[in-house]
Structure 1
Amino acid sequence: MTPDAAGVLTAPPSERIDPDAFVRATMEWHFSPDTGSPFWLERARTLDFDPRRDVKSHADLRLFPNVAAELRDVRAQDLIPRGYGPDPGVVGVFESGGTTGAPKRVVLLRDWLDRMLAASNAGLEVHGFPKDADWLGLVPTGPHIVGEYFRRSAATYGRHGFTIDLDPRWVKRLIAQGRGPDADAYAEHLIDQAAEILRSQDIGVLTITPPLLERLAQRDDLVELVNEKVRAIRWGGTQLDPDSRRLYRTEIFPETVLTGNYGSTMMLGMAGERPGLRDEDPCVFDALSPHVTFSVVDPQTLDEVAYGERGQVVVNHVSKSFLLPNNLERDLATRIAPPDGGVGDSVADIAPVPTFEDEAVVEGVY
């Protein structure tokens, strides 16, 4: 790899880089025997193209097959690029939610975590999130990457992070088994735990999923507490319909900043809500281009739909630490033009597909 190519891979978040040059550098990195991961070096033997020769632009990423399902069985160690050497800076191994079968696994490395946090924290500042505030997170922890991002965000942008135990797989299992009352009881148990923290601590930022925010909003005492203490709410994990978003912003929490995140484990991060949106605007999410990019496609033909039309989301993660191109996500969205200088699409009005990988999609609290 040339020095210039290496520089493209490690350019600081504030530096604008040529997306096609970036793709070419990542292909050299991930498919060189000296720097690539065992998984991709072995997988390259089965491809009908040469990534180092044939993938020259962002558009060429569509040549790759969708290998996300293979991450259910791959050894985590085989996902780490050899170029990192004996101490790659592993933060952790994280799993998908298991919404459609056995969970998939990714390895989070320190350099990518730092890049994602820098982008996320910059977005929080633009949205007016308070600094030096305590945070409360009603998000999955354990094997789920969102819990790690919450803890790191609270520590780097805020002050202290408070969490509760949240097992989204258990809720989904209860719902799939028709045990709705048990799922409701578990969700109320989560809100009860959050209420104790809200009452006793100086919580200034709340990170929460839309189903749990809905339950919290049904308790007048907690709405009063949030309006008294919390200055910003960040939601994510499942969809928030436009009418509910408008209601929260204008009537229930009118003095509190409310912004969303769209993310997934396979994305290895999140896309923040576009700043400056009005209450009546759709909630648009901009990807961390060129490292993470979206396309919105017809689920049958996989051709891009027109701007303003609905389709299924395809995500490309292309960074020094991880490669997962052309991954068809389990989400539908409206295709939106990206910000100036962005690559790929922005997305709005996220909603789950009814079935994915021949499994019914069950959404619970996350």
Structure 2
Amino acid sequence: MQWHFSPATGSPFWLNRAADLSFDPRQDVKGVEDLNLFSDVTAALRDVPVANLVPRGYGDQACLLNVFDSGGTTGAPKRVIQLQDWMHRSADQVTRQLTRHSLPVGALWLTVAPTGPHLVGDVLQRAAAGLGSPGLSVDMDPRWVRKLIAQGRSGEVDAYTDHIVEQCRRVLLGQDIGVLAATTPLLERFAQEDDLLEAINSKVEAIIWGGTHMDPDTREVLSSEIFPDVPLIGMYGNTMMLTALIERPGLAASDPCVFDPVSPHVFLSVVDPDSGNQVGVGERGQVVVSHVSKSMFIPNNFERDTALRVLPVAGLSGDAVADVAPLPRVEGAAVIEGVY
């Protein structure tokens, strides 16, 4: 709080808003529970000048690596920045979590995910590098697919999905892929192709899924029947987190998929969307995410997801979440997931 709200070190974005706060963050925010004093400011990230997001404390040492956009599911995309120090922290924590799942070191990856302004492709490519793995990739444009779905152009959606699958086919059949990272709809689509199903089950040593949610029944079928010998590892993340959370190790296919927070930088809470009060353990509510790092501060962000509230593993602060699913509507607009 001292860093982000001191005139010498804070970003113009937060210093400009400090005067309008009804409290003093440097005095009143003492713990994770105090982050709910802030209102959700993420809508302002749609049109803020990127330079205003960089904390002044970096001076001329600020190394701006990326500007990431949110998916734009509920309107114009929101923008965040990734500085070099946070990139290293994020990559290290994702690699540590994947290591707990015994992912193969040095195996060839295929990542099928949005790149460009989207965070997830960057996270996965750095995760592959962290495990000493060269990464092949197939890009996708989730905004275009969602637009097609909203307009009822299902034939074009199918054609675009086929286009992605064909690119993946060349890689999966022609390369010795050890780790496959893809979304739930694409895994289901791969399962319809005998040659891809055989290639994945015979060569791939782990599947990382993320993006669109995976309900418990689908997770169990994919794990037990479609890819019975390939571990499925869930990944939950979004632009406002500026990182990704990896499924808690040791879960059975029939267990809810649990994601723990990343203390002391990414905190989760599960709340009643009407009252904002925390729900009971095991109850479903809306996911609220706070990102607290030297490079960015995004508190009390009401995500477009619901989840079951779970206690985190010992030593972590905030809530863990399980069985993440999208809200049907956000800000009056229907949530469309598409291929991602």
TM value normalised by structure 1: 0.91
**What residue in structure 2 maps to residue 32 of structure 1?**
6
**What residue in structure 2 maps to residue 170 of structure 1?**
144
**What residue in structure 2 maps to residue 229 of structure 1?**
203
Structure 1: 4+ residue segments shifted above 6 A = none
Aligned residues of 2:123 and 2:244 also touching (Cα < 8 A): no
Aligned residues of 1:294 and 1:316 also touching (Cα < 8 A): yes
**What residue in structure 1 maps to residue 326 of structure 2?**
352
* Residue 55, structure 1, aligned to residue 34, structure 2: no
Q: Tell me the amino acid that sits aligned with residue 29 of structure 1.
A: W
Aligned residues of 1:272 and 1:287 also touching (Cα < 8 A): no
Residue 68 (structure 1) shift: 0.5
Give SS of 2:221's match: helix
Q: Structure 2: how far apart are the matches of 1:134 and 1:110?
A: 25
* Residue 108, structure 1, aligned to residue 64, structure 2: no
Q: Which runs of 5+ in 2 are unaligned?
A: none
Residue 347 (structure 1) shift: 0.3
Q: Tell me the amino acid that sits aligned with residue 43 of structure 1.
A: R
Q: Tell me the amino acid that sits aligned with residue 286 of structure 2.
A: Q
**What residue in structure 2 maps to residue 79 of structure 1?**
53
**What residue in structure 1 maps to residue 256 of structure 2?**
282
Residue 290 (structure 1) shift: 2.0
Residue 358 (structure 1) shift: 2.1
Residue 165 (structure 1) shift: 2.4
* Residue 266, structure 1, aligned to residue 240, structure 2: yes
Residue 156 (structure 1) shift: 2.1
Q: Which runs of 5+ in 1 are unaligned?
A: 1-26
**What residue in structure 2 maps to residue 140 of structure 1?**
114
Q: Structure 2: how far apart are the matches of 1:165 and 1:236?
A: 15
Q: Structure 2: how far apart are the matches of 1:358 and 1:36?
A: 34
Deviations 1:90-119, CA, capped at 9 Å, x for gaps: 111010011111000000111111111111
Give SS of 1:116's match: helix
Residue 53 (structure 1) shift: 1.2
Q: Tell me the amino acid that sits aligned with residue 266 of structure 1.
A: M
**What residue in structure 1 maps to residue 300 of structure 2?**
326
Q: Structure 2: how far apart are the matches of 1:181 and 1:301?
A: 42
Deviations 1:336-356, CA, capped at 9 Å, x for gaps: 001111111000111111111
Q: 1:311 aligns with which of 267, 282, 285?
A: 285
Map residues 233-248 of structure 1 onto 2, 5 A cutoff: 233-248=207-222
**What residue in structure 2 maps to residue 20 of structure 1?**
none
Q: Structure 2: how far apart are the matches of 1:221 and 1:158?
A: 28
Aligned residues of 1:138 and 1:208 also touching (Cα < 8 A): yes
* Residue 68, structure 1, aligned to residue 25, structure 2: no
Q: 2:179 aligns with which of 205, 208, 215?
A: 205
Aligned residues of 1:128 and 1:257 also touching (Cα < 8 A): no
**What residue in structure 2 maps to residue 295 of structure 1?**
269
Q: Tell me the amino acid that sits aligned with residue 329 of structure 1.
A: E
Deviations 1:100-150, CA, capped at 9 Å, x for gaps: 110000001111111111111111111111010111011001110111112
Give SS of 1:191's match: helix
Give SS of 2:61's match: coil
CA RMSD of aligned residues (A): 0.9
Deviations 1:213-268, CA, capped at 9 Å, x for gaps: 11011111101000111101100011011111111212221221210011000111
Q: Structure 2: how far apart are the matches of 1:59 and 1:160?
A: 41
TM value normalised by structure 2: 0.98
Residue 300 (structure 1) shift: 0.4
Q: Alignment length, in residue pairs?
A: 340
Percent identity of paired positions between Structure 1 and Structure 2: 57
